[in-house]
């Protein structure tokens, strides 16, 4: 005879009707099961023996963990993880493991929040072990944001969840050493690493697979990344793919929209959920964005499921209409108009910081003209690194990065989770809040503290740092105007967005998706430049007139700049000087006491310089470096009076990095090299 079930009042007295109803249902289930077991039917009792034992264990676990409805823990989890969400988001977070999930998430719809809350729910409510959960993010910034949100939601247990980019996951699987290859300047083949990781997983089917796998930005995966996800997902893995075919923008890099389109066939059965409530942008911005994307063929969400303002924001003011400016296609002239628009924006809001404004363009060529104009006009700006870049030179090769590596190499004892470098980088960044390299290193140190083992040796931390630094990530100073391509803006948002159009956009669905991504980065205001005459037609014949009549769009003729640039100024561009065009061994050929080393020590990123012929000078006219002999074309451009520019970074070089043929000429074991960018005259 089994024990009689407890009544709802015995379980947890509570005045909340919903909780009492849940407790009643649990008691009824127990009573029904006991009645069946005690029915006298031996065959039935035998068949129900194991299910009954599992149910009793589950109920006891609920009691032991204080998770019965009405309990303090139950209420805390509900309030912390579920109440902040919309009903659709909530259903995704607490969904049972019955097949895989495809989440088609529109821009600004809270997809990162859903992933973070779902993982926290698995950790806290479902008691899934952290080591059984893997989340793959598109880039370092997205991975770091997800880690931070997880830690805020779930605390210390979240540290055991694997949150990495696809490349970092491949590196972890194959165990490739990075520090040595960095020291010798050996280039790393990331595509090959992904292939090696897939081959390893396929060769070891017995290797444990995660029970829960999350993949963000599924629509922009390359074939190698797609294969990695397939190899990571075991027969018992629950896969949640989050993406949006409307935001597929990396086809040029090998990404295929077909991967998200065939997800339901690859992993059937699949439950598909649409996230359409936008928490970011105003109704005018969303209306224009919807007109931009509407002509695209074969949209998975369909024209009858537009992204719209979240219900929680419906009582807010509608916001300013989107400004559509017919502008000259010549990059210098349009850069002057954009700069005037930025200045007006700053003048209208005294509390607005330049870093809250982003200027987006199709190509870096358009941004280079604006960057040069900002330098000449004294407005601080920062241009974002190329997305998905895997340059051999990273922030760790800079003077500041070398100091961080030296710090890690000093102690003989292990560092607890990289806390020491994080504290040190944080101190340096607070001392120099406008220094871009220190801000980058602070981000890097914070990520290290999140992913490093609990007690890691110095070599292990160095390996982790090199792995993280391979993918560029720029924090962005709040006091500097943000310049970036539309590709680089993926996943970001800004209060004010200006999109340039120097006739470098192209016709077609791929470009329309990219323009849609650019437009949906805006929170408060959006300004679209439209080149006249237009070669691409992306902003033509899409029904914008109806939006104008509704007060959602404001077409404007190109205003005259406050100070029209003269012809030479309008043709100027900012040109980054490649490290290959710099004589990297110049200071190394000088003895340690040479005055050049003292001059270099006084320089910092952002300092102005001038390039005259091959010679790089500081503002006092003192030489601080020179071009390599292969940079003949740039040397001719820099004939007297030279080209103005600035230092982008101070590299640290070592004897081991020089080719053997050049080592005999070196007189230093370590020296510094200024990297620069200069303003050049480059008419269209």
pLDDT greater than 80 at residue 228: yes
pLDDT greater than 60 at residue 12: no
Consult the annotation and say whether 108 binds a ligand.
yes
Consult the annotation and say whether 111 binds a ligand.
yes
Residue 272: enclosing H or E segment and its boundaries? strand 270-275
Within 13 A of 370's CA, how many CA atoms are on the CB side?
A: 31
pLDDT category of residue 516 using cuts at 50, 70 and 90: very high
CATH of 84-178+190-275, one of 3.30.200.20, 3.40.30.10, 3.30.930.10, 3.40.50.300: 3.40.50.300
Q: How confident is the model over 482-503, as pLDDT tens digits?
A: 999 999 999 999 999 999 999 9
Consult the annotation and say whether 110 binds a ligand.
yes
Q: How far apart are CA 107 and CA 351, in angstroms?
A: 27
Per-residue pLDDT averaged across 334-347, rounded? Answer: 95
> What is the predicted pLDDT for the residue at 54?
82
Q: Considering Cα of 400, then 404, then 405, then 406, what sign does the dihedral take?
A: positive
Consult the annotation and say whether 106 binds a ligand.
yes
Q: How far apart are CA 216 and CA 224, in angstroms?
A: 15
> What is the predicted pLDDT for the residue at 572?
84
Q: How far apart are CA 130 and CA 149, in angstroms?
A: 15
If we measure between CA atoms, which residue out of 405, 399, 388, 396 comes closest to residue 472? 388
Consult the annotation and say whether 107 binds a ligand.
yes
**Could you tell me the CATH superfamily of domain 322-388+477-565?**
P-loop containing nucleotide triphosphate hydrolases (3.40.50.300)
pLDDT greater than 60 at residue 410: yes
> What is the predicted pLDDT for the residue at 16?
57
Residue with the larger pLDDT of the pair 454 and 256: 256
Q: Where are the domains of the chain?
A: 45-82, 84-178+190-275, 322-388+477-565, 395-470, 571-681
Q: How confident is the model over 64-76, as pLDDT tens digits?
A: 777 777 778 778 8
What is the chain's mean pLDDT, rounded?
87
pLDDT greater than 50 at residue 639: yes
Instruction: Give the strand pairing for 277-278 and 308-309.
Output: parallel
Consult the annotation and say whether 165 binds a ligand.
no
Across 439-443, 569-573, 601-605, the highest mean pLDDT is recorded for: 601-605
Domain 571-681 has CATH 3.30.70: yes
> What is the predicted pLDDT for the residue at 412?
47
* DSSP code for 84: T
> What is the predicted pLDDT for the residue at 249?
95
Consult the annotation and say whether 301 binds a ligand.
no
pLDDT greater than 70 at residue 316: yes
Q: For the CA atoms of the chain, what is the radius of gyration?
A: 29
pLDDT category of residue 507 using cuts at 50, 70 and 90: very high
Is there a common fold for 84-178+190-275 and 322-388+477-565?
yes
Consult the annotation and say whether 659 binds a ligand.
no
> What is the predicted pLDDT for the residue at 519?
98
pLDDT greater than 70 at residue 473: no
């Amino acid at each position: 005879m089994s024990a009689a079930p407890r009544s709802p009042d015995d379980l947890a007295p509570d005045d909340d009707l919903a909780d009492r109803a849940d407790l009643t249902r649990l008691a009824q289930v127990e009573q029904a099961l006991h009645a069946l077991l005690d029915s006298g039917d031996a065959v039935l009792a035998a068949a129900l023996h194991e299910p009954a034992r599992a149910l009793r264990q589950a109920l006891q676990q609920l009691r032991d963990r204080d998770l019965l409805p009405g309990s303090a823990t139950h209420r805390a989890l509900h309030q912390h993880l579920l109440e902040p969400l919309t009903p659709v988001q909530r259903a995704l977070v607490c969904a049972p493991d019955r097949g895989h999930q495809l989440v088609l998430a529109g821009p600004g719809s809270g997809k990162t929040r859903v992933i973070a809350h779902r993982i926290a729910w698995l950790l806290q409510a479902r008691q899934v072990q952290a080591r059984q959960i893997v989340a793959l993010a598109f880039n370092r910034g997205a991975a770091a944001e997800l880690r931070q949100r997880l830690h805020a939601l779930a605390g210390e247990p979240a540290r055991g969840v694997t949150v990495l980019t696809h490349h970092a996951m491949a590196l972890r699987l194959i165990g490739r050493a990075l520090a040595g290859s960095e020291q010798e300047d050996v280039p790393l083949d990331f595509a090959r690493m992904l292939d090696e990781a897939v081959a390893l997983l396929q060769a070891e089917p017995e290797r444990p697979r995660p029970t829960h796998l999350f993949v963000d930005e599924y629509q922009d995966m390359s074939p190698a990344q797609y294969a990695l996800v397939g190899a990571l997902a075991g027969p018992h893995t629950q896969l949640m793919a989050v993406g949006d075919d409307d935001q597929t923008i990396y086809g040029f890099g090998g990404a295929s929209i077909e991967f998200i389109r065939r997800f339901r066939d690859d992993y059937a059965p699949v439950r598909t959920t649409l996230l359409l409530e936008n928490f970011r942008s105003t109704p005018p911005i969303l209306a224009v964005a919807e007109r931009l994307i509407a002509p695209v063929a074969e949209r998975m969400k369909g024209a009858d499921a537009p992204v719209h303002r979240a219900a929680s924001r419906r009582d807010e003011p509608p916001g300013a209409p989107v400004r559509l400016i017919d502008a000259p296609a010549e990059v210098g002239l349009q850069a002057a108009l954009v700069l005037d628009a930025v200045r007006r924006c700053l003048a209208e809001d005294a509390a607005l910081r330049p870093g809250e404004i982003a200027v987006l363009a199709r190509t870096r060529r358009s941004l280079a003209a604006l960057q040069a104009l900002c330098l000449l006009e004294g407005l601080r700006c920062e241009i974002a690194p190329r997305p998905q870049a895997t340059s051999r030179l990273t922030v760790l090769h800079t003077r500041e990065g070398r100091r961080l590596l030296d710090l890690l190499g000093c102690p003989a004892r292990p560092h607890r989770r990289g806390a020491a470098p994080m504290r040190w980088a944080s101190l340096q960044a607070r001392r120099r809040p406008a220094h871009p390299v220190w801000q980058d290193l602070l981000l890097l140190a914070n990520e290290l503290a999140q992913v490093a083992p609990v007690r890691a040796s110095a070599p292990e931390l160095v390996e982790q740092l090199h792995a993280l630094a391979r993918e560029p990530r720029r924090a962005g100073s709040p006091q500097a105007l943000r310049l970036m391509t539309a590709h680089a803006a993926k996943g970001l948002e800004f209060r004010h967005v200006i999109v340039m159009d120097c006739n470098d956009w192209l016709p077609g669905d791929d470009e329309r998706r990219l323009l849609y991504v650019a437009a949906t980065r805006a929170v408060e205001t959006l300004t679209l430049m439209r080149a006249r005459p237009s070669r691409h037609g992306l902003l033509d014949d899409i029904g914008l007139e109806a939006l104008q009549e509704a007060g959602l769009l404001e077409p404007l003729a190109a205003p005259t700049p406050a100070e029209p640039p003269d012809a030479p100024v309008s043709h100027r561009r900012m040109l980054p000087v490649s490290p290959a065009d710099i004589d990297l061994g110049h200071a190394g050929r000088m003895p340690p006491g040479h005055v050049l080393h003292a001059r270099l020590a006084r320089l910092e990123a952002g300092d102005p310089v001038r390039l005259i012929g091959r010679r790089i000078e500081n503002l006092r006219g003192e030489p601080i470096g020179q071009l390599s002999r292969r940079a003949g074309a740039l040397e001719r451009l820099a004939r007297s009076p030279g080209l103005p520019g600035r230092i982008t970074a101070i590299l640290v070089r070592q004897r081991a990095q020089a080719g053997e043929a050049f080592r005999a000429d070196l007189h230093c074991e370590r020296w510094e090299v200024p990297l620069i960018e200069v303003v050049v005259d480059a008419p269209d």
